[in-house]
Amino acid sequence: MSDEEREEKELDLSSAEVVTKYKTAAEIVNKALRLVISECKPKTKIVDICEKGDSYIREQTGNVYKNVKRKIERGVAFPTCLSVNNVVCHFSPLASDEAVLEEGDILKIDMACHIDGFIAAVAHTHVLQDGPVTGRAADVIAAANTAAEVALRLVRPGKKNKDVTEAIQKVAAAYDCKIVEGVLSHQMKQFVIDGNKVVLSLSNPETRVDEAEFEENEVYAIDIVTSTGDGKPKLLDEKQTTIYKRAVDKSYHLKMKASRFIFSEISQKFPIMPFSARALEEKRARLGLVECVNHELLQPYPVLHEKPGDYVAHIKFTVLLMPNGSDRVTSHPLQELQPTKTIDDPDIKAWLALGTKTKKKGGGKKKKGKKGDKVDESAEAEPMDSTNGATSQD
């Protein structure tokens, strides 16, 4: 087999080595999420918590695949974000930001890790309080979680992306919540966090995507954001944007010296994955990033807001479409929820009753890659009981 053929083969889950890299990244990001949640206390600075999440991922990924012949890229695949209350996503402030957490805040934590470009992404919603979460806050989290559980059962070979879109909208409506528009679930490939196959969270005339069918050996980051508001978030302040990704297909000769310096630094340190402007020298970055964004050399990840008083929840998980079924490798147990709504819809109940594994003839013998299996059990088994949307509302 030529090197080219070998590279091509290694890109998907038919390679045990690739599966192990995904599961190793997943194990690290699940632990990083646990660490971040443990650091979330009233009066703690948000930037300090985000930094701890990123540092943990850098440190842990640095400890794996050290003694290999080929140098393996590894580290943060999406900077730790901590979006509070009606802030929907991508809040990962600069070092100078003084924002702190308060008792009762609803926190959306979003992060991703990669090993050799194989990415494990996760997002979780946590309320900064003791005791069960009640009322509309419980509804919005249960809506996101139940939608995630339904999506897990429908993202499988042979199903289409539109099947998932329709189902998660139905789940949100059952909790009298809205799916936030503009959120896409992407197929992921090596070094590609936003592949071309996508699942829309919300279908409307303005947003159209190509119909696609899920296939065996694909990987997806399923991304669901729910709101008690109208689900149409707004960009309030461009200065809050701190996360960017280099647009590798664009080129432009930058005029400003500061822009050229910053873009050179970005190209060296973050050639492919999204990064936080925290990693750049702050004053110079502020100047240089604007020109880079204006000429589309960088893709910004804006901080979006629902209206004050709206509750927003975010659940994201990475799923491997293995030959023996869907394998959710990233998650975290939810707090106890006491939603005001119950699920009575027969369609939703039927979706939740579906299994995530498929039985294949002779499939029982296929038990290779024990190291990967071990990671899988810790990543999947622990949360499934407490996060299954079906249990929250019975």
Average pLDDT value for residue range 105-119: 98
Residues 261 and 132 both lie in one domain = no
68 and 200 belong to one structural domain: yes
What is the pLDDT at residue 287?
85
44-53, 138-147, 380-389: least confident range? 380-389
pLDDT at 267 exceeding the cut of 90: yes
- 42-46, 179-183, 234-238, 360-364: least confident range: 360-364
Do residue 87 and residue 208 come from a single domain? yes
Confidence band, pLDDT 50/70/90 cuts, at residue 359: low
Residue 281 within a domain: yes
CATH number at residue 280: 1.10.10.10
For position 169, what pLDDT does the model report?
95
State the pLDDT at residue 68. Answer: 85
Q: Which residues pair with 186 in a beta bridge?
A: 198, 221
- Alpha-carbon distances, residue 332 vs 27, 51, 295, 379 (angstroms): 11, 20, 39, 8
Same-domain status, 198 and 267:
no
Least confident of 86-95, 317-326, 355-364, 372-381: 372-381
Q: Above 90 in pLDDT, residue 221?
A: yes
- Determine, yes or no, domain membership for 392: no
Tell me: pLDDT of 335 over 60.
yes
Output the pLDDT for position 366.
40
Does residue 332 share a domain with residue 214? yes
Residue 232's pLDDT band, with cuts at 50, 70 and 90, is very high
pLDDT surpasses 60 at 370 = no
Residue 165 lies in a domain: yes
- For 117-140, the pLDDT digits (tens) are 999 999 999 999 999 999 999 999
Q: Is the domain of 75 the same as that of 137? A: yes
User: 51 or 71: which carries more pLDDT confidence?
Assistant: 51
Q: Over range 137-152, report the average pLDDT.
A: 98
Mean pLDDT value across residues 334-347: 96
Shared domain for 204 and 262, answered yes or no, is no
pLDDT computed for residue 385 by the predictor: 34
Residues 144 and 229 in one domain: yes
Same domain for 294 and 317, yes or no, is no
Mean pLDDT of 329-349: 96
With a cut of 70, say whether residue 352 has pLDDT above it. Answer: yes
By the 10 Å C-beta count (0-12 exposed, 13-18 middle, 19+ buried), 103 is classed as exposed
CATH label of the domain that carries residue 111: 3.90.230.10
Domain co-membership, 47 together with 126: yes
Confidence band (pLDDT; 50, 70, 90) for 294? Answer: very high
Q: What pTM does this model have? A: 0.88
For 177, the domain range is 14-237+303-351
pLDDT band at residue 209 using 50, 70 and 90 as cut-offs? confident
- Give the pLDDT band (50/70/90) at residue 378: very low
Per-residue pLDDT at 47: 98
Q: Give the pLDDT band (50/70/90) at residue 363.
A: very low
One domain for residues 125 and 86: yes
Q: How many domains does the chain have?
A: 2
**Pair 309, 296 in one domain:** no
Comparing 170-184, 350-364, 378-392, the range with the smallest average pLDDT is 378-392
What value does the mean pLDDT of the chain take?
88
Instruction: Establish if 362 belongs to a structural domain.
Output: no
- Report if residue 47 sits inside a domain: yes
Check residue 107 and give its pLDDT.
98
pLDDT-based confidence at 389, cuts 50/70/90? very low
State yes or no: pLDDT of 219 exceeds 80.
yes
